[in-house]
Structure 1
Amino acid sequence: MTSNASSPARARIAAAKRIVVKIGSSSLTRANGRLDIAALRRFVDVLAERHAEGVEIVLVTSGAVAAGLGPLDLPNRPKDLATVQAAASVGQGLLIGQYADAFAAYGIPVGQLLLTTEDTVRRSRYRNVWRTVDRILALGGVPIINENDALVADGRGFGDNDRIAALTAHLVRAEGLLLLTDVNGLYDGPPSQEGTKRIPEVENLADIAHVEIGGSGSSVGTGGMVTKLRAAEIAVESGTPVILTTAASAREALRGEDVGTCFAAKDKRPSRRQLWLAHAAKTDGKIHVDEGAARAVASGRASLLAAGVTAIDDNLNASDPVSIVDPEGKEIARGLVAFDSSHVREMIGKSTDEIANELGEDYGRAVVHLDDLVLVGRSRGNPGPLDDLEQ
């Protein structure tokens, strides 16, 4: 951690030509749960300023459920799924309508994308999101993204828009991510506790492993500091710097000023496919490997060869996302399998040359190539600084 107010990460965000901005429910609603239209318009004023300067803005917004509370005469965020979905359905129209009107004052069109987990766990749909967002930006508009709470059939959605924002930032190759909440950054202890101080810069996530984190979000939202830090982890690992601050400080944050907490990004940006595999993909099955293959894969420098495979689940097709598990059943990596299950079974335990001789040259290659493989959890070789955060 450092107190350098003019850090390179802040400078990168100030100079960014494409940025993702996420705003939470608590920043857009009054204490009674109703949408605060004045606050929304002040927020849009800030984004429109940057848009006029040639910056492409992707907005990830919460607030649909909260916006639906007033019209439905609900005093608080409901606890049962059906009422949450009803509030979201009513609130989505109200929320996007207010955004459309606010941006229209600046001649900026908006496009709405309501996402469910299926839009990220299936690569074809993930790519469709990217194409739509990219085209709206090219046409001079602002894509507005929210989780589609009205259609989460079993209640198991993303759970927060912070993760959506981090995934979107990488997907659209944003140069910065701004996470807006009701707390001005990360503190070295509970913000309400006397003597705690704001952490202005985080150069490495391992530096905050000792920080006590709590809170589960406001009464109108579902996020909290933990979700924001996990979103920051996704973003910085994908090469995107992050600023976490309040909506009231959004203008200063976009200018690179010393507000909130700034998280420096790693230099190497993984491919969209790698990020999808690591944080968004729903795996279709497992490939079990022996100890030697597990070590080789965990090194991050080797493809998975058939010689190290011990078993594979049924009904896997070529290019399906799979989990690679060690002899103890622990997931060490994810990847795209190169062959159907039936073909992999014919290859198990055999060398590449043996496979090529028996099945043909087309089969003399890795079961999961290094380019289609990503390590997960502690297999990445880092200490997993967020794994032990107090929730």
Structure 2
Amino acid sequence: METLAFNGGSPVRTKPFPEWPIYGEQEERHLLEVLHSGKWGGIGRIKLPEFEEQFAAYHGASHAVTVVNGTIGITIALQAAGVQPGDEVIMPPYTFIATATSALMFGAIPVFADVEPDSLLLDPDRVEEAITPKTKAILTVHLAGAPSDMTRLREIADRHGIRLIEDSAQAVGAQWEGNGVGTIGDMGTFSFQSSKNINAGEGGIILTNNKALADQAWSLTNVGRIREGAWYQHEHIGWNLRMTEFQAAVLLGQMTRLDEQMAKRERNGKLLTELLDEIEGIRTIRRDPRITRHANHLYMFKLEPAITMDKSQIIRHINSEGIPVGYGYISLNRNEAVIREIEKWTGEHRIQPCPVSERASEKEVLWLHQNVLLAEEQDMYDIAKAIKKVTNSILAGRDHA
């Protein structure tokens, strides 16, 4: 059995994975057009409406509203959908903290419903159990680029008369039963932060097929103005949360590579799953057959109970073999900052047990980021070889240092 690189052996891999972001002539040309136009923001925009139209059409949405970032996108979507301070918003705990803080920003209260063991996506059965008279919205997360069970969540939301919002930050281009994410719920939000599958450094967008919701979201992000109104006609309370022309210029360039990149991530993700399924001690994440397009923003896999080494130590071993696996999220229902903020708004110290999410966070789930899936086919074999080398060593009782 080979000695682990962590303990002085040779690493499986020294070659770097593709860097992110990927950019080229398209971004440069669009940026120069904006620079020379002198129209960088405010009124008279060109690139921003072009990007909004293109992104909406790509997902099958009727309306798009760009915003400064994905977190604010969720906040605005919740407010446009009628969620008020003190209202409850059901959401999964295995997600980035912004899902919760986007509600807490204005005093809406996250209620954590656990995730499904096999998919790590919001569990519709747990959502049903969490609904109370204070529930005003379900905020589902298309984790890693995999759409949630939108069929059941839509049915639950409609039956209870509550809004359904899609946090699609990681799911640009994904589809559920042929429908683009962001168009199945009442509103869907996306992020263009630097790690995302199309990247403007920062930025976000809200999609919807409901014109009234789109107009309300637009007003909230445009200082309370109304569409077609005068520049100083403020009929609501709103804020300046607009994206710039420079960000839209970069995103138009990024969109030109999206289909090709999605196809490559999909091929490599499928191959990696086949390879990892052959490794003792590793379990891959279930993909619902109704997911007709996966964004593959993250590639997640699980450690089986037989792998008894501490997760952080396993990560150090795999990293030493040249594979950049990461730890993953801390379950938000146990995040002290989130708990304190909920207590500030409610006066209650709420601990909401979510054992599936907690176990995934503490013991099971490891990640690879989307740029790894933009590598070549042989690189997937390197990933599997390194993981197998480490897990075989653990199962054999060696290299526990």
Q: Normalization by structure 1: what TM-score?
A: 0.29
Q: Which has the higher contact order (CA 8 A, sep 6+)?
A: 2
